[in-house]
Amino acid sequence: MPARILLSLLFIAAGTLHFLIPQTYVRIMPPYLPWHLQLVYLSGLCEILGGLGLFLPATRPAAAWGLIALLIAVMPANIQMVLDHAQFPAIPLWALWLRLPLQLPLIWWAYRYTRR
């Protein structure tokens, strides 16, 4: 149970940051996507709702699947951040590259809660 609570809090915190510092996320949006700010807010809302959904047994499987879908959906933004690494001089390029495969353990972690 502590791992699930930690995952919940991680997504709630990450989602909250989308509303507190949205321009950080807008900067990593791929140029081919429309409505950057709206998508940042939508993804933040989905992270918050997914995190909250992990708390309740009735919503846990749907929330976990939703978070898995979200982690896959935001991968283009993570890739874009690597491609535009010059915009993020405070973050070492190796850290941006490392961030990409780290999505897989997050997906696995969420997958653990897809079953009742």
Per-residue three-class SS string for the chain: CHHHHHHHHHHHHHHHHHHHCHHHHHCCCCCCCCCHHHHHHHHHHHHHHHHHHCCCCCCHHHHHHHHHHHHHHCHHHHHHHHHCHHHCCCCCHHHHHHHCCCHHHHHHHHHCCCCC
User: What's the mean pLDDT when you consider all of the chain?
Assistant: 96
pLDDT above 80: residue 101? yes
| pLDDT at residue 84, as a whole number | 94
Q: What is the mean pLDDT of residues 85-101?
A: 93
| pLDDT at residue 2, as a whole number | 94
| pLDDT at residue 1, as a whole number | 73
pLDDT above 90: residue 116? no
Per residue in 27-75, pLDDT (tens digit) is 999 999 999 999 999 999 999 999 999 999 999 999 999 999 999 999 9
